[in-house]
Amino acid sequence: MIGNQTGKPVNRVDGRLKVTGGAKYAAEFTAPNMAYGFVVNSKIAKGKIKSIDTSKALALDGVLEVFTHENRPGYVWGDKNYQDKDSPPGSPFRPLYDNEVQFSMQPIALVVAETYELARYGAILVEVEYENYSFDTDFEKNIKQAYIPEKYKSSKPPEPWGNPDEALANAAVKIEAEYSHPSEHHNPIEMHASLAIWEEGGKLTVYDKIQGVQNSQQYIANAFGMQQEDVHVISPFVGGAFGSGLRPQYQLFLAVLAARELKRPVKVVLTRQQMFSFGHRPKTVQKFALGADTDGKLKAVQHDAFGETSKFEDYSENVVIWPGVLYNCDNVKVSHKLVALDVYTPLDMRAPGGTTGIYGLECAIDELAYKAGVDPLEFRKMNYSEKDQNEGKPFSSKELRECYRQGAEKFGWEKRSLEPRSMKEGHNLIGWGFAQGAWEATQKQAAAKAVLTTDGKLTVSCATADIGTGTYTVMSQIAAETVGLPLEDVTFKLGDSSLPKSPLQGGSWTVSSVGSAVKLVCDKVREKLLQLAQQVANSPLANATLDDVNIEDGKISLKNDPAKAVTIKEALVQSQGKSIEENVSSEPVEGQQKYSPYAHSATFVEVKVDEDLGTVKVTRVVSAIAGGRIINPKTARSQILGGVVWGIGAAMEEETVMDNNLGRFMNHDLDKYHVPVNADVHDIEVIFVEEKDDHVNPLGAKGLGEIGIVSVAPAIANAIFHATGKRVRELPITLDKLL
């Protein structure tokens, strides 16, 4: 659907700021008399700090203070006060609370100095004596103690249906398989940073890297016993986050603490190494037992997941809901248990649960299709789900079949031979793999404000974020189209806690939630505009209703007689110098709960595997997406491209390796934690299929931040099987596993 603004591939409205260095990220703000904080992290995984000697650091000229558990001020220390909007059930980590060490690289001191270099130098002069306790960081060893949490952070796994045990026993074709992926870290290129500015009268201004300024605001207010209105959090640009900014991280707490004590602005920026000291995608093992009949009809699914969590919070994700969403099957049972380790609590990372569960499921289904001798794409068509079996509800829309059709055609799937190792090019084995995916299209409550000034300029605002997803741009497009103004007359403001209430930016719900609020508030402006236009002397619109008029390009005209028009500026003269100002709070649309809203994907992958060396190149990816209405095809395509690159990373490269002797992640930098670089990425084609959805939200848009990644890693793994005949069931698929 193409409106006069939405549906167009317009350039990012913040593009110029980003290519000129004008976009300011958290660490780039400054304040007079600003001091620098540098964090000292624990060298042990578990134990007690016996002594911490800060005298050498303090003796350094220019070091202002070293904060530790011994001298930290007594604010509010009840653990409930440290919960934030994305906290899992449990007791959140409290920086500098006491002498206990709960995980390796736990922050244990903050050195504050006049310059960054001095603070960094001071940090290495802090001497710590520890008492070591034994610790559990070995996932495999601790899987035997896996448990069902009292409360899931994610949805509770669905109850079984049908008779899965009997159906499995009787199935003509069966597979059993165990899939796993390691811990992974988000690694946005901007490191987490906070600048806290303590002001006269007990007020605080904070520049923070966060996916929701109001989350930081609430966290600081609770943890420091302040009034929410005294805490102002600002974050106009976020240099990537991918979930790492959903929870306030410890540099925020430490910067505020230091600024409050020293009564001067303090900036704390984490190092790349310290980016491995908080949340990560949890290592997860999944066990599958699948059964089908000889024609390839799916008869039974058993899916059991074991996910990593910390000893102090029960983190879980929606890993096992996917059989009920993606397949039509009469007999299903699933479970999700947690393995608690002495690590920091895992944290939502791009498509949490989906990236994990769909990877395992789509590889296991590929195995079953092969066992049944059915083309993997054909197998999906035969077992297509027309409703969400977890919820027993129809989908709000589902054009996945069209994704299959257009994706297969673009990729050339019909030229594929079924047999593994049957396609070759010189010394390269060629493999073609397929996987499908889904991601929930949620709408959350959100508020927005619109101000149309008499010069015809519109400003719309909401305290959401733009983590690179294009929020500034698409919200401006929605507002411009709704009010009928050219894009350049619209400004969208975000990243400021004083703006109208927003949910966190995550879960692919920003366009759905904030976009719907923007549309609603702009509809109200539109109503007001028509009323003003009707007050113009001899108004040709005097008897018109909103349905009778078009508002576009700065003009309000009759649909059936466009010559009869009043310009927006003429109408605004009637307001006698007053701006039109509207505020709304938008709730999920009525009737939505009757449907199950999901975006869908179909991913086709070609790999070339060097037969002698085991090296793998992902040479071609076609990603076909059913994501509802696409507000901006240009930024939308970029989101899917990014998801595909993340899928390549997960399949081929990404792994944070735990050293179980030290209880510490070993590869904590970008040299040894590999993310895809330019040379790892080849042809990627993105297709958006037409999908109309009247139920999901007033915009009909489903959100795209996560649907792009979910089916990529399994499609690559399946392509590698097709190329080599070898099933590698453990990510990442590095060459040692292929040789």
Partner 1 sequence: MGNNSVTSPPKSSVKLHINGEQKELQLAPWTSLLDALREHLNLTGTKKGCDHGQCGACTVLVDGKRINSCLTLAVMQQDKEITTIEGLAKDGELHPVQQAFIDHDAFQCGYCTPGQICSVIGLVNEGKAKSLDDIRDLMSGNVCRCGAYVNIVKVVQEALERSESK
Q: Report the interface residues with partner 1, using CB under 8 A.
A: 11-12, 14-25, 27-28, 30, 55-56, 59-62, 115-118, 121, 125, 187-191, 237-242, 269, 271-272, 467-470, 634-635, 637-639, 641-646, 669-671, 675-679, 681-684
Between residues 281 and 729, which has the closer beta carbon with respect to partner 1? Answer: 281
What's 263's DSSP letter?
T
Between residues 35 and 167, which has the closer beta carbon with respect to partner 1? Answer: 35
Between residues 590 and 671, which has the closer beta carbon with respect to partner 1? Answer: 671
Q: Choose among 181, 608, 575: nearest CA to 358.
A: 181
Exposed/middle/buried for 506, CB within 10 Å: 0-12, 13-18, 19+?
Answer: buried
Question: Which residue has tokens 């009707």?
Answer: 534
Between residues 597 and 708, which has the closer beta carbon with respect to partner 1? Answer: 708
Sign of CA dihedral 401, 406, 408, 414: positive
Distance CA 278, CA 194 (A): 15
Contact between 337 and 148 (Cβ < 8 Å) = yes
Sign of CA dihedral 482, 488, 489, 492: positive
Distance CA 232, CA 631 (A): 31
Between residues 15 and 392, which has the closer beta carbon with respect to partner 1? Answer: 15
82: tokens are 């440290």
The 3-state secondary structure of 35-47 reads: EEEEEEECCCCCE
For the chain, give the number of residues: 739
How many CB atoms are located within 10 Å of the residue 511 CB? Answer: 31
How many CB atoms are located within 10 Å of the residue 670 CB? Answer: 14
Strands 683-688 and 616-626: parallel
The 3-state secondary structure of 409-460 reads: HHHCHHHCCCCCCCCEECCEEEEEEEEEEEEECCCCCEEEEEEECCCCCEEE
Between residues 27 and 332, which has the closer beta carbon with respect to partner 1? Answer: 27
DSSP sequence for 280-299: -BPPEEEEEEEEE-TT--EE
Gyration radius from the chain CA atoms = 27
Q: Is 706 a catalytic residue?
A: yes
User: In sequence order, what are the beta bridge partners of 552?
Assistant: 555
Closest separation in Å from C-beta 210 to partner 1 = 14
Question: In sequence order, which residues have a C-beta less than 8 Å from that of residue 476 and are 6 or more positions away?
Answer: 13, 460, 487, 490, 491, 492
Contact between 584 and 604 (Cβ < 8 Å) = no
User: What's at 152, amino acid-wise?
Assistant: Y
Between residues 364 and 645, which has the closer beta carbon with respect to partner 1? Answer: 645
312: tokens are 């102090």
Options 65, 308, 582, 706, the catalytic residue: 706
Distance CA 294, CA 177 (A): 19
Q: Choose among 656, 718, 695: nearest CA to 278.
A: 656
Between residues 76 and 670, which has the closer beta carbon with respect to partner 1? Answer: 670
Between residues 320 and 465, which has the closer beta carbon with respect to partner 1? Answer: 465
Between residues 21 and 74, which has the closer beta carbon with respect to partner 1? Answer: 21
Closest separation in Å from C-beta 81 to partner 1 = 31
Closest separation in Å from C-beta 634 to partner 1 = 5
Q: Choose among 436, 435, 464, 437: nearest CA to 449.
A: 464
The catalytic residues are: 706
